[in-house]
Amino acid sequence: MPSSSRTAALRGRFVTFTGNPFTMPPEDALHVEEDGLILIENGKISHCGAYDALRAKVPEGVTVTHYPDSLISAGFIDTHVHYPQLPVIASWGEQLLEWLQQYVFPTEAKFSSPEFAQAIARAFLQELLRNGTTTAAVYCTVHPESVTAFFQESEKLGTRMIAGKVLMDRNAPDNLRDTAQQGFDESQKLIETWHNKGRQLYAITPRFAITSTPEQLECAGALFHSRDDLFMQTHLAENEDEIAFVKTLFPERSSYLDVYDKAGLVGPRAIFGHAIHMHEHDFQQCHDTHCTLAHCPTSNLFLGSGAFRLFDAVDPRRPVNVGLGTDIGAGTSFSLLSTMGEAYKVSLMAGKQRLHAIQAFWLATAGAAQALHLDDKIGTIAPGMEADLCVLDPAATSLLALRTKECASMADLLFVLMTLGDDRSVKATWVDGRPVYVRPEAV
């Protein structure tokens, strides 16, 4: 077992990115180490490479954890998810605006209770780890207590999380509304307490243009610019009724994105969920401003919102940063493997474009890290990176075992994993140099 100093050694096949598979032949962007060794000191990767070349560097007293017949990857990154919506996943029958009213708002109201918030935060983080996800951009609720509970639980696990208090000062129930001033003050206090505390990062979180007055969006913009490394997260152009409502609320704005831009909310580290109904000039503006789009395919299918045009977004002539999001509770799976599989289907439907398996894994790891400006810390297996890893089992089910036995290439293996894999495929998850989840063995 690794020591409490987060010094450890893992042996097994690993994959990591050395380039962007959307701008080069995908295979050239991926490094595969067939029998690898990953050495970890104080939670960071100190060395990685071929086992034979590095075995002499294993410090005395450190046991090598061996994962034969597995595939080790950097931990997955979920760029858009709502922890308070864990209890409403799989709620029937509504599209976005009605779904929020009927299911989401009544549940989010319960997060005024710190005990309830803590219990759900704990369960949510366990689900992430069971699915190999080690970093996420997370919406809390309007209650500061919900943010405190979430960061406290994340801190206990040592996970690198981005999260923030939802801002809503209109078009929401009384018990879920703040005011522009209150939202500003509460967010500021939470930033002071949590931003860059250990591995925790803060995101200013105006829910979307419908639930914030122009005044509140201005306050959010002021907060976003109050430091140079804060995040901002919100929703953009997800649903046609939503877009029509935004037009009536902001008739003077030239587009949905312009509503956010005029409030100072568009720029590096701004993460926009969904972005389904986008025009070319919107993509151009996203490219010019270095913001990020979170593609949430299971959610978009579940709510019938539409199909994200991934290949338009990442068009090499003006590429936009894109990550994948589960968007729990509108999303239907915590698994980034399943999310990659659904992204493949949506890309085919949206524009007959074939998402390559290596591109999909990049979106869930190194690409997401780049999109979040965290690629010096997470998303790849390389010296100096934080040791967040997931260990995948290509034979997790009898079907997977049968199918992966036939795989002649890494691309084929990754494609089978993203098409058939889910939480069952995650054998172990390491965070900050420690094994925080180990799949129970079947009896």
Q: Is 96 in the site for ligand GUN (CB under 6 A)?
A: yes
For ligand GUN, the binding residue among 45, 104, 163, 385 (CB under 6 A) is 104
Binding site for Zn ion (CB under 5 A): 273, 327
For ligand GUN, the binding residue among 330, 357, 391, 426 (CB under 6 A) is 330
Binding residues among 217-256 for ligand GUN as defined by CB under 6 A? 235, 238
* Least CB distance to Zn ion at residue 39 (A): 38
Q: Is 212 in the site for ligand GUN (CB under 6 A)?
A: no
Which of ligand GUN, Zn ion, none sits in contact with 159, Cβ below 5 to 8 A by type? none
Binding residues among 190-209 for ligand GUN as defined by CB under 6 A? 207-208
Which of ligand GUN, Zn ion, none sits in contact with 104, Cβ below 5 to 8 A by type? ligand GUN
Stretch that binds ligand GUN, among 96-104, 317-325, 336-344, 410-418 (CB under 6 A): 96-104
Q: Is 142 in the site for ligand GUN (CB under 6 A)?
A: no
Site string for ligand GUN, 283-312 (x = CB under 6 A): ----------------x-------------
Q: Of 207 and 434, which has the nearer Cβ to Zn ion?
A: 207
Which of Zn ion, ligand GUN, none sits in contact with 96, Cβ below 5 to 8 A by type? ligand GUN
Q: Of 110 and 318, which has the nearer Cβ to ligand GUN?
A: 110
232, β-bridge pairs: 204, 270
Q: Which chain residues interact with ligand GUN by CB under 6 A?
A: 82, 96, 100, 104, 207-208, 235, 238, 299, 327, 330
